[in-house]
């Protein structure tokens, strides 16, 4: 499985790096997955919301990965870099919509879910986002659920920040089995906090 975690200026570091570490540990435990950190333009480095500079692996491939993970960050700061600015700019929602049209799966972490909503991929589907953006999510066509992770098959969302770890561990178990997921949880000394809402 090819997984791409899409970076943009002002993304929340843990939204992206937490799942990245889960997927890398899954690969080390035998999962057939490869994770990259692209940006739309391939420009490097990208600066996260708390000032961390992260190198990117190049531009998001037009052929697309199997799974596109979209972090959040910066939704409530309407003036600075982050998810809100990217939603208004429109390029990332367009890339998400194109990825879905090609049949790829998507996952939004935190307010990355708002970028999925802007792309139209959450219409009529169960979804969750960071608590600070729930009112905005309810104003879309998404079916908001009370959960840390929502799994609707090829479209997944997670609530705020640390729930990205829950989403990634859930995906590892779903795609690669309980043994690999257990190995990841043991390596990271992490236990998901809540059950997943599945449609």
pLDDT score recorded for residue 29: 98
Question: Is the pLDDT reported for residue 145 higher than 90?
Answer: yes
Distance CA 47, CA 27 (A): 26
pLDDT score recorded for residue 62: 74
Nearest Cα neighbor of 164 from 140, 117, 127, 129 is 129
Separation in Å, CA 178 to CA 69, 125, 182? 21, 26, 6
State which residues form the domain around 149: 2-198
CATH for 80: 3.40.50.880
Distance CA 53, CA 31 (A): 28
Name the H helices within the chain: 13-28, 83-89, 91-101, 112-119, 134-138, 163-176, 178-188
Domain count, the chain: 1
Q: Looking at residues 8-29, what average pLDDT do you find?
A: 98
pLDDT in tens, 85-112: 999 999 999 999 999 999 999 999 999 9
Q: Indicate the pLDDT class of residue 20, thresholds 50, 70 and 90.
A: very high
DSSP lists the bridge partners of residue 108 as 70, 157
pTM over 0.85: yes
How much is the mean pLDDT over the chain? 96
Q: Indicate the pLDDT class of residue 43, thresholds 50, 70 and 90.
A: confident
Other CB atoms within a 10 A radius of the CB of residue 191 amount to 10
Q: Looking at residues 160-173, what average pLDDT do you find?
A: 95
Cis peptide bond upstream of 84, omega within 30: no
Distance CA 28, CA 70 (A): 23
The share of the chain scoring above pLDDT 70, in percent, equals 100
Distance CA 120, CA 99 (A): 12
Question: Is the pLDDT reported for residue 196 higher than 80?
Answer: yes
């Amino acid at each position: 499985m090819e997984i791409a975690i899409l970076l943009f200026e002002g993304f929340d570091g843990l939204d992206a790096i937490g799942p990245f570490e889960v997927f890398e540990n899954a690969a080390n435990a035998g999962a057939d997955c490869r994770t990259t950190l692209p940006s739309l333009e391939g420009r490097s480095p990208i600066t996260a919301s708390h000032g961390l500079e992260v190198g990117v692996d190049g531009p998001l491939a037009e052929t697309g990965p199997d799974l596109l993970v979209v972090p959040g960050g910066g939704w409530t700061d309407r003036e600075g870099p982050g998810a809100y600015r990217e939603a208004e700019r429109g390029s990332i929602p367009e890339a998400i919509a194109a990825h879905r049209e090609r049949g790829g799966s998507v996952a939004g972490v935190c307010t990355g879910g708002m970028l999925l909503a802007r792309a139209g991929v959450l219409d009529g589907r169960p979804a969750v986002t960071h608590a600070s953006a729930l009112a905005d999510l309810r104003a879309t066509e998404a079916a908001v659920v009370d959960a840390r992770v929502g799994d609707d098959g090829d479209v997944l969302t997670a609530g705020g920040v640390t729930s990205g770890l829950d989403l990634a561990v859930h995906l590892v178990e779903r795609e690669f089995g309980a043994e690999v997921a257990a190995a990841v949880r043991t390596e990271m000394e992490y236990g998901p906090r809540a059950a997943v809402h599945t449609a």
